[in-house]
Amino acid sequence: MKIELAKSYGFCFGVKRAIKQAEKTKDAATIGPLIHNNDEITRLKNDFNVNTLNDISELGNEKKAIIRTHGITKQDLDNLKTSGREIIDATCPFVKKPQEIVEKMSSEGYEIVIFGDSNHPEVKSVRSYATTNNYVVLDENELNEVKFKNKVALVSQTTKKVEKFMQIANYLMLKVKEVRVFNTICDATFKNQEAIKSLAMKSDVMIIVGGKNSSNTKQLFLIAKEHCKDSYLIENENELDYRWFNNKKLCGVSAGASTPDWIIEKVVKKIENFS
Ligand code: F3S
């Protein structure tokens, strides 16, 4: 059996940057998990004494606080600033962007629509910058009952699919006089999505490596599954089952944006041993 890696996979620019910042900072706490990968979080704790807290209320004696790639809410940021701690802001610049857009458009009187999961920390952080009416939706029909005034700005969670984003934009354009559309979907996600699609189309089995609570990884898994029914989502090599590879000719491998290379290498090595 041949094993092929997707043309683009794994760590994105934002996560690489956040991990470097955490390694350099040492002896710090991150507000919420720095990335969606339990093994990497454990490594940062063991090797660099970087602890993970659930939220800002858990901060104790730590003098340094790291803001994760998803960002935190404006209110939490203000509280952190007044606490006097050193702040290391690892918010991904691609998340900063929609935060800034929402703040600016709100200040100009635009109502805000965010395409995303309302419970996702990134969406919470972006939404917190809105000062006008704001709506978080996964589908345009959720806006059917909304009576918009006359101008709306639309942004997206960075990991969402562009096709659905366009549907929501089209819907808004028929409903509201002035619509400002900001495509804030992250390039890295898009590249990984395109790459997994072409690999899944020719593979007999697909392995996607990543955190099970990472929306980015789940999205990759769904695309893989659409084009290759034998697709599996795993967090590390221990979850592999040799039966998945019986009579298969090509195994495609990809990984979510928060998956470190060392985990992917271990997975590939184990699959090699099966074939
Ligand atoms: Fe940033 Fe995109 Fe990664 S938003 S954290 S570069 S997936």
The per-residue pLDDT for range 111-140, each reduced to its tens digit, is 999 999 999 999 999 999 999 999 999 999
95 in contact with ligand 1, CB cutoff 6 A: yes
| Local confidence band at 38 (pLDDT 50, 70, 90 cut-offs) | confident
Q: Give the three-state DSSP class for 240.
A: coil
Kindly calculate the radius of gyration of the chain based on its CA atoms and give it in whole angstroms.
20
What CATH number does the domain located at 13-91 have? 3.40.50.11270
13 in contact with ligand 1, CB cutoff 6 A: yes
Residue ranges with strand state E in the chain:
2-5, 28-31, 50-53, 64-67, 86-89, 111-115, 134-137, 151-156, 178-181, 205-209, 231-234, 250-255
Ligand 1 pocket: which of 68, 92, 95 to mutate (most atoms within 8 A of CB): 92
- Closest atom of ligand 1 to 93 CA is 1
| Local confidence band at 34 (pLDDT 50, 70, 90 cut-offs) | confident
pTM over 0.75? The answer is: yes
| Local confidence band at 39 (pLDDT 50, 70, 90 cut-offs) | confident
Neighbours of 145 (CB within 10 A): 6
Q: Give the three-state DSSP class for 33.
A: coil
252/2 Cα distance (integer angstroms): 8
179 in contact with ligand 1, CB cutoff 6 A: no
pLDDT over 90 percentage in the chain: 81
Predicted pLDDT of residue 11? 84
Ligand 1: centre distance to CA 55 (Å): 21
What CATH number does the domain located at 2-9+187-274 have? 3.40.1010.20
Q: Among the options 122, 140, 235, 237, which is catalytic?
A: 122
Beta pairing partners, 156? 115
Neighbours of 25 (CB within 10 A): 19
In the numeric block, which tokens belong to residue 193?
């999505």
Ligand 1: centre distance to CA 257 (Å): 7
Listed by start position, the domains of the chain span 2-9+187-274, 13-91, 94-181
13-91 against 94-181: fold identical: no
In the numeric block, which tokens belong to residue 32?
């919420």
Minimal CA–CA distance to 12: which of 230, 195, 205? 195
The mean pLDDT of the chain is 94
Based on the residue annotation, tell me whether 62 is a catalytic residue of this protein. no
Minimal CA–CA distance to 256: which of 203, 186, 160, 189? 189
Specify the residue with its C-alpha closest to ligand 1, atom 4. 94
Confidence check: pLDDT of 145 > 80: yes
What topology does CATH give the domain 94-181? Cobalt-precorrin-4 Transmethylase; domain 1 (3.40.1010)
